[in-house]
Amino acid sequence: MEGESEPNLLSNGPNGMWPAPVVPCPTNPMVTPLLTDLYQFTMSYAYWKAGKHQERAVFDLYFRRNPFGGEYTVFAGLEECIRFIANFKISEDEISFLKETLPASCEDGFFEYLRGIDCSDVQVYAISEGYVVFPKVPLLRVEGPVAVVQLLETPFVNLVNYASLVTTNAARHRFVAGKSKLLLEFGLRRAQGPDGGIGASRYCYMGGFDATSNVAAGKLFGIPLRGTHSHAFVSSFMSPDEIVDKSLCSLDGSTTCEDFVALAQSWLNKIQRSKSLSNVFGETNQSELAAFTSYALAFPNNFLALVDTYEVMRSGIPNFCAVALALHELGYKATGIRLDSGDLAYLSCEARKFFCNVEKEFGVAGFGKMTITASNDLNEETLDALNKQGHEVDAFGIGTYLVTCYAQAALGCVFKLVEINNQPRIKLSEDVSKVSIPCKKRSYRLYGKEGYPLVDIMTGENEPSPKVGERLLCRHPFNESKRAYVVPQQVEELLKCYWPGNSGKQREELPSLKEIRNRCIRQLEQMRPDHMRKLNPTPYKVSVSGKLYEFIHFLWLNEAPVGELQ
Amino acid sequence: MEGESEPNLLSNGPNGMWPAPVVPCPTNPMVTPLLTDLYQFTMSYAYWKAGKHQERAVFDLYFRRNPFGGEYTVFAGLEECIRFIANFKISEDEISFLKETLPASCEDGFFEYLRGIDCSDVQVYAISEGYVVFPKVPLLRVEGPVAVVQLLETPFVNLVNYASLVTTNAARHRFVAGKSKLLLEFGLRRAQGPDGGIGASRYCYMGGFDATSNVAAGKLFGIPLRGTHSHAFVSSFMSPDEIVDKSLCSLDGSTTCEDFVALAQSWLNKIQRSKSLSNVFGETNQSELAAFTSYALAFPNNFLALVDTYEVMRSGIPNFCAVALALHELGYKATGIRLDSGDLAYLSCEARKFFCNVEKEFGVAGFGKMTITASNDLNEETLDALNKQGHEVDAFGIGTYLVTCYAQAALGCVFKLVEINNQPRIKLSEDVSKVSIPCKKRSYRLYGKEGYPLVDIMTGENEPSPKVGERLLCRHPFNESKRAYVVPQQVEELLKCYWPGNSGKQREELPSLKEIRNRCIRQLEQMRPDHMRKLNPTPYKVSVSGKLYEFIHFLWLNEAPVGELQ
């Protein structure tokens, strides 16, 4: 589906210099130039008032620490940033609001200036969306007039922070669950607001999930949709008597079963009479049987039942099997069950055993392979624990912990000035991890002999790029004793031109969500396993060139006031 | 501002029976009928297919546990729920998507049915937004045709969950900070998506914050806006030489200082020569001095400076004071400083001391009372720790931990069927805390002699309501030994009619955000302090009537399958 509605997000205009305005607006129409912090406007005014507003500034957007105790992050949110700047224009209504809001002393000329600005002289270089990324390395390098780029800080950080966090969370869940399991994102109801839900569905798919329950996200992004029924559906039935239209045509259309309710009941009786099956239960719940029967009548080809409304082994499973066997008699194949409470490892194994016994007892080939979905407050830890205990779950529906990133609800992306008017700038801090890396920079990923990425290195913009086969010194940006020589087998420049402004540069296409998802999966597979493991992963190295190292420390000494010990 | 653009969200139609369609759409245009889980539509189809779709169902929306280790929650999100149902209509485009998405076997009649539905025969009774609420007591009671109300589950839960969680978080921050401090919400950049940011600003204000940095939220909801400048502004300057327009007119317009840069510099020299002030610093950072001077030229009436770009006491504070004293000489009054790193308790005390010394040294009345704002990754715990250490902070800017609800990123609201076709329904679970309370219910808050709420009680819909001065048995819904007699001094019915559908009932007005905020503050003040304290708070009691208790347990036994021990 994606790709059809948006075949080509950007295309060059007639002169090939400036993209024609065909980039769609941000997915959420609430993303406007006012979706920013007030201080961006007060600073913009102060730049303007000082006559500095046109000074060319370079800002880096990066994060300082990987989330979830891990050693990697997946970058996401780029397309929304590009959509935002491609359509950046402050409306008259917004100008009026700003006029009311800023101090009355602000001069009219500034609002005139705001009226005229757009992002045509802004350039955005970025790592491609879906890439595995690391602390301190710029995800976006944004260059343009300081008073304009300043306004972009908050929306850019907002659009990247949660997107990258939840994509990373999804990738981590996939890592623990393994490739063979189906992963379903069920988080909409618990997400932080409507757009938290829609974003979560999009970015969890990007990070390796297979489908979502969120219909709006399915429509917007072409993500496969999944879902069956809830406890409410089961408890809305009183007894099989209330089912009026009981007939069901067989799959091949050759016969019609006039009383499917009776057919399901007769199968339940057979199960109850079977020695290998009956020892776990007495009477099953009749409203549950009614609900399952009714659901099967509605979806004979897609019968998947939630079996824990009353009791899984004493009611849900036998009722499900009765209806599934009735469907089978008419040529249909039931899909499976969902477990939403209790001991999922134990119950999934018991359910599997029961299905296998049904297969044997009634000679129904494949019944033992019925899909078992589990969905009760799952997260990385419970998936890991299930794996260790042993389980028979085929698909996991994951909600709350996934979409709210419960284990760590925010990624600390920042947006720091690194150069203005060709003058490199540094932001100092008593906390070394908060010192910014100055200069307009390039960054590269260097690959080793075995094909794994070895190290990311940042250099000044005009330094020669690392060469394959040539030895190169990589230095830790802030620890002088940490350095290593690397002979790269492959060199990949990380920052690509995603928004050329009026620079005339070629711009990177924005790929479809599915393409980004595939890229992300490839990226994750390509990493050396010890960086990816859950327990005590090895940090991936992030470095600077020798020249940049020297410059950082020169600037640092230059800017820091000298203390006086007393 | 609020109230002006939306003077009256609901007004009765000409016959007084049915509100005219003047309820605005949801704030976020992405909130549409498709913003729901797929299974709501599959269930809706199954109800329709079984001819049950018109059956009258009652669902309760409630949560099971208070968040953040506390014993209270603030209810928020109601207005958005009402906006959603007031405008509930599935578009042709959405119908087409559903047709593609649901199994091909689904009959056309269902889509015809979907085309026709709205919420005109749905009724929503709710607790008023901004109320303090407790586990298990319905926040919303939603009644209507089962196939319609089922579709509302996910959006309602989504709209209430985060709204209530973040409002509660804001209220908890206010509780720790105390009434006298200014609380500013600075979370947009770290929020979970754009709408997470806008929702956070709105609901933090509701929960007792004073202002936000989020311009879009200021415009949408009339929330006061705050913000000054960031580190980038400071580091964008190289030296005072680059300031071109150096003149500043005095506040009263009587004189013009032609070189404000020199004036600030001369004050810095005076500070440096002063014995009581100079002992903390040598040379201050010149780019910082330039930035402060420039910012003061832009905002002479609102000069608030971020003082930790280089070093607070050795550079930021002296530079700030120099510029503030220069402003003072021209009749202006500087606002204060912001600290964004380091030991906030220590630095705020040192800054205060310095300001007081400046007041004494230069005889500037009130200089010691300069506002000190702090803003570095603050949360309930750090506020508490600052209080214990002693500090001089007047205003707190709180972001990440507040808006992402980092301490607990989700509230577990659920939406459970409690009655269908006048038949009470129960949802069982091996975990007693997950058993639902059946029946269409009323709920009341009973107040004691001292004016505090004592207990919330749920009763069957047709039971007589509790009477002031009459002794009443309140029972724990699931623990037979927990019960108490209460003689209420005041009885408040909690559920009010916020969406009458076509029932002809009077509907409650939706108040403005500011009114809800005031209500919320009153509600919080009214609670007995031991329920509200951070450490080991006393649980507030939630109960059912004796009659409802008996009925719950009758139904439970009736529905649960009898086990067979082996």
Using 50, 70 and 90 to split pLDDT, how confident is the model at A281? low
Per the structure, how many domains does chain B have? Answer: 2
Looking at residue A336, its pLDDT comes to 98
**Is B335 an interface residue toward A (CB < 8 Å)?**
no
**Within 13 Å, how many C-alpha atoms sit on residue B553's CB side?**
12
- On whether both B363 and B436 belong to a single domain, the answer is no
Domain final position from A349, A369, A393: A393
Q: What pLDDT was estimated at residue B364? A: 96
Interchain pair A196, B197: CB under 8 A: no
pLDDT at residue A566 is higher than 90: no
Cβ contact A407:A393 at 8 Å? no
Residue B360 sits in the same domain as residue B462: no
Instruction: Report how far residue B487's alpha carbon sits from residue B448's, in angstroms, rounded to the nearest whole number.
Output: 8
Considering the domain architecture, whether residues A146 and A249 belong to the same structural domain is answered as: no
- Is the Cβ–Cβ distance between A382 and A345 less than 8 Å? no
Residue of B nearest to A43 (CA): B229
* Residue B422 shares a structural domain with residue B553: yes
What confidence score (pLDDT) does residue A228 get? 86
Nearest to B417 among A45, A235, A242 (CB): A235
> Same structural domain for residues B424 and B304?
no
**Each residue of A363-397: pLDDT tens digit?**
999 999 999 999 988 999 999 999 999 999 999 99
Residue B476 belongs to a domain? yes
Q: Mutation test of the interface with chain B: which of A32, A36, A37, A242, choosing the one with the most B Cβ atoms within 10 A?
A: A37
pLDDT confidence of A423, banded at 50, 70, 90?
Answer: very high
The answer to whether A105 contacts B299, with C-beta atoms less than 8 Å apart, is: yes
Q: Which residues of A touch B101 (CB under 8 A)?
A: 215, 218, 225
Q: How far apart are CA A352 and CA A360, in angstroms?
A: 12
Of B106, B341, B423, nearest to A429 by CB-CB distance is: B341
Final residue before a domain boundary, out of B327, B354, B374: B374
Q: Is residue A204 part of a domain?
A: no
> Is there a domain that residue A78 lies in?
yes
Question: Is the pLDDT confidence value at A18 over 90?
Answer: no
What residues form DSSP beta bridges with A141?
A: A60, A125
Task: Give me the residues of chain B with pLDDT under 50, please.
Answer: 1-21
Q: Which two tokens stand for residue B234?
A: 């400071």
Pair (A389, A413) in one structural domain: no
Contact between A236 and B425 using a beta-carbon 8 Å cutoff = yes
A495 — phi, psi (to 5°)? -85, 120
The B residues from 481 to 540 touching A (CB cutoff 8 Å) are none
- Kindly report the nearest CA distance between residue A537 and chain B, in angstroms: 24
Give B472's strand partners. B486
For residue A275, name the pLDDT band (cuts at 50, 70, 90). Answer: confident
Contacts of A192 in chain B (CB under 8 A): 162, 166, 191-193, 196, 199, 404-405, 409-410
Please tell me the predicted confidence (pLDDT) of residue A563.
63
Q: Which residues, numbered 213 to 242 in chain A, qualify as contacts with chain B under a Cβ-Cβ cut-off of 8 Å?
A: 213-216, 218-219, 225-233, 235-236, 238, 242
Query: Which of A36, A52, A195, A350 is the mutation pick for testing B, counting most B CBs within 10 A?
Result: A195
Do B128 and B380 touch, CB atoms closer than 8 A?
Answer: no
How would you write A110-144 as a 3-class SS string? HHHHHHHCCCCCCEEEECCCCCEECCCCCCEEEEE
CA distance A79 to A512: 10
pLDDT for B539-557, tens place per residue?
Answer: 999 999 999 999 999 998 8
Same domain, B418 and B551: yes
Is the Cβ pair A406, B409 closer than 8 Å?
yes
CA distance A434 to A427: 8
B310 interface with A at CB cutoff 8 Å: yes
Q: How far is B287 from chain A (nearest CA, A)?
A: 9
CB contact under 8 A, A235 and B57: no
Q: Is the pLDDT of residue A78 over 90?
A: yes
- Both A469 and A375 in one domain: the answer is no
pLDDT digits (tens, 9 = 90+) for A151-202: 999 999 999 999 999 999 999 999 999 999 999 999 999 999 988 889 999 9
For A182, phi then psi, to 5°, come to: -85, 130
CA A179 vs CA A182, A395, B94, B203: distances in Å: 8, 11, 33, 40
Q: Cβ–Cβ contacts within 10 Å for residue B480, how many?
A: 9
> Domain span at residue A389?
228-393
Q: What is the pLDDT of residue B352?
A: 98
CATH of the domain at A232: 3.20.20
pLDDT at B407: 96
The model's pTM is: 0.95
Q: Is-contact A181 A396, C-beta < 8 A?
A: yes
Q: How far apart are CA B252 and CA A373, in angstroms?
A: 74
Paired sense of beta strands A414-420 and A182-185, if any: unpaired
Q: CA B4, B9, B14 angle in degrees (round to 5)?
A: 120
**Is A322 a domain residue?**
yes
Statement to judge: residues B321 and B367 lie in one domain: yes
Q: How far apart are the C-alpha atoms of A208 and A518, rounded to whole Å?
A: 8
The two counts, helices (H) then strands (E), for chain A are: 18, 24
Q: Residue A495 and residue A125: Cα distance in Å, rounded?
A: 5
**B369 plus B413 within the same structural domain:** no
Q: What is the distance between the alpha carbons of residues A132 and A137, in angstroms, rounded to a whole number?
A: 11
Neighbours of B18 (CB within 10 A): 16
Chosen from A4, A39, A309 to mutate, greatest number of chain B CBs within 10 A: A39
CATH number at residue A42: 3.20.140.10
Q: Which of B355, B374, B393 is the last residue of a domain?
A: B374
Q: Are A540 and A80 in contact (CB under 8 A)?
A: no
- Residue B93 in domain: yes
pLDDT at A360 over 90: yes
- Are the Cβ atoms of A294 and B49 closer than 8 angstroms? yes
Chain A contacts in chain B segment 407-436 (CB below 8 A): 408-413, 415-417, 420, 423, 425-431, 434
Q: Give the residue among A406, A372, A400, A369 at the shortest CA–CA distance from A386.
A: A372
| Predicted local confidence at residue A70, as pLDDT | 98
Cβ distance of A231 and B32 shorter than 8 Å: no
CA neighbor of B410 nearest in space, from A195, A374, A402 = A402
| Rounded mean pLDDT, A419-432 | 87
CA dist., res. B465 & res. B251, Å (int): 64
B412: Cβ contacts below 8 Å, ≥ 6 apart: A190, A400, B63, B64, B65, B161
Using pLDDT thresholds of 50, 70 and 90, give the confidence band for residue A565: low
Inter-chain residue contact B50 with A301, CB threshold 8 Å: no
Give yes or no for residue A16 having a pLDDT over 50: no
Judge contact between A419 and A123, C-beta under 8 A: no
CA dist A405 and A415 (Å) reads 22
What pLDDT shows up at residue B325?
A: 98
Q: How does the average pLDDT of chain A come out, rounded?
A: 93
pLDDT beyond 70 at A11: no
Does residue B228 fall inside a structural domain? Answer: no
* B151 and B83 part of one domain: yes
Interface of B with A in 22-81 (CB under 8 A): 26-32, 34-43, 45-47, 49-52, 55, 57, 59
Q: Is the pLDDT of residue A440 over 70?
A: yes
Residues on chain B touching A37 (C-beta within 8 angstroms): 186, 188-189, 213-215, 227
Q: Based on the domain organization, do B362 and B420 belong to the same domain?
A: no
Q: Is B162 close to A191, i.e. CB distance below 8 A?
A: yes
Quick one: average pLDDT of A205-231? Answer: 96
Contact B283 A564 (CB under 8 A): no
Characterise B243 by phi-psi region: left (phi > 0), alpha (psi -120 to 50), beta (else): beta
A158 Cβ under 8 Å from any chain B Cβ: yes
B183 within some domain: no
Burial class (CB in 10 A: 0-12, 13-18, 19+), B528: middle
Residue found by looking up tokens 């108040």 in the block: B511
Per the rule left: phi > 0, alpha: psi between -120 and 50, beta: everything else, A421 is: left
Chain A 94-113, residues with CB within 8 Å of chain B CB atoms: 94, 97-98, 101, 103, 105-106
Question: 10 Å Cβ neighbour count for B377?
Answer: 15
Cross-chain residue pair A429–B226, CB shorter than 8 Å: no
In a domain, A316, yes or no: yes
